[in-house]
Amino acid sequence: MSSETNKNPRIAFLGTGAQGASIAADFALVGLNVTFIDQWPAHIEAIKENGITVNLPNRTINAKVPALHLCQVAEIKQLFDVVFLVVKAYDTKWACELIKPVLADDGFIVGLQNGMTHEVIANVVGRKRTIGAVIQIASNMWVPGIVNRQNDHKESWFAMGALEPAMQNRVEDVAVLLRNSGRVEVTDDIHSAKWMKLVVNAAELIPSAIIDTALNDAALAPDMLKVMRAAGYEAMQAALADGATIMPIIGMSPVMSNHPERYVDEILDEVLRTFSREDTLTTSLQDWRKGRRAEVQEVNGLVVEVLAVHGRKAPVNKKIVEIAFAIEAGKRKAKPENSKDMILSAAENFPDP
Condensed to tens digits (0 to 9), the pLDDT of residues 164-209 reads: 999 999 999 999 999 999 999 999 999 999 999 999 999 999 999 9
pLDDT tens, position by position, 228-262: 999 999 999 999 999 999 999 988 888 778 899 99
In eight-state DSSP terms, residue 182 is S
Q: Does residue 206 sit in the same domain as residue 291?
A: yes
Arithmetic mean of pLDDT, 100-114: 97
Other CB atoms within 10 Å distance of the CB of residue 330: 7
pLDDT tier for residue 6 given thresholds of 50, 70 and 90: low
Q: Does residue 169 sit in the same domain as residue 238?
A: no
| Three-class secondary structure of residue 338 per DSSP | helix
Q: Where is 330: in which H helix or E strand?
A: none
Q: Does residue 218 sit in the same domain as residue 160?
A: no
- From the list 335, 353, 334, 351, the residue with the least C-alpha distance to 343 is 351
Q: What is the dihedral of CA 317, 322, 326, 327, to 10 degrees?
A: -10
What sign for the dihedral angle of Cα 331, 334, 338, 342?
positive
CA distance 115 to 335: 25
Q: Does residue 211 sit in the same domain as residue 183?
A: no
| pLDDT at 300 exceeding the cut of 80 | yes
CA distance 302 to 209: 18
Q: What ranges make up the beta strands (E) of the chain?
A: 10-14, 33-38, 52-55, 60-63, 67-69, 80-85, 103-112, 130-136, 139-143, 146-149, 157-162, 183-186
Average pLDDT, rounded, for the chain? 95
CA atoms within 13 A on the CB side of 117: 29
| Three-class secondary structure of residue 192 per DSSP | helix
Contact status, residue 201 vs residue 272, Cβ threshold 8 Å: no
Domain boundary among 133, 163, 188: 188
Task: Give the CATH number, domain containing residue 134.
Answer: 3.40.50.720
Q: Does residue 130 sit in the same domain as residue 262?
A: no
Other CB atoms within 10 Å distance of the CB of residue 322: 17
pLDDT tier for residue 282 given thresholds of 50, 70 and 90: very high
Domain boundary among 137, 163, 188: 188
| pLDDT at 3 exceeding the cut of 70 | no
Contact status, residue 321 vs residue 304, Cβ threshold 8 Å: yes
Contact status, residue 175 vs residue 134, Cβ threshold 8 Å: no
Query: What type of residue sits at position 119?
Result: E
CA distance 284 to 294: 5
Domain extent at residue 182: 3-188
Domain boundary among 188, 205, 236: 188
Task: Give the CATH number, domain containing residue 328.
Answer: 1.10.1040.10
Contact status, residue 336 vs residue 213, Cβ threshold 8 Å: yes
pLDDT tens, position by position, 134-167: 999 999 999 999 999 999 999 999 999 999 999 9
Report, in this order, helix, strand and coil percent for the chain, each rounded to 5. 50, 20, 30
- From the list 177, 159, 136, 186, the residue with the least C-alpha distance to 19 is 136
| 216: CB partners within 8 A, 6+ apart | 272, 276, 277, 278, 280
CA distance 224 to 104: 47
Q: Does residue 157 sit in the same domain as residue 227?
A: no
User: Of 26-35, 45-54, 264-273, 296-305, which gets the smallest average pLDDT?
Assistant: 264-273
Q: Does residue 202 sit in the same domain as residue 184?
A: no
pLDDT > 70 fraction of the chain, expressed in percent and rounded? 98
Total of domains in the chain: 2
Q: Does residue 315 sit in the same domain as residue 331?
A: yes
- From the list 304, 352, 253, 296, the residue with the least C-alpha distance to 115 is 296
| pLDDT at 285 exceeding the cut of 70 | yes
pLDDT at 39: 96
pLDDT at 133: 98
Q: Does residue 220 sit in the same domain as residue 313?
A: yes
| pLDDT at 4 exceeding the cut of 60 | no
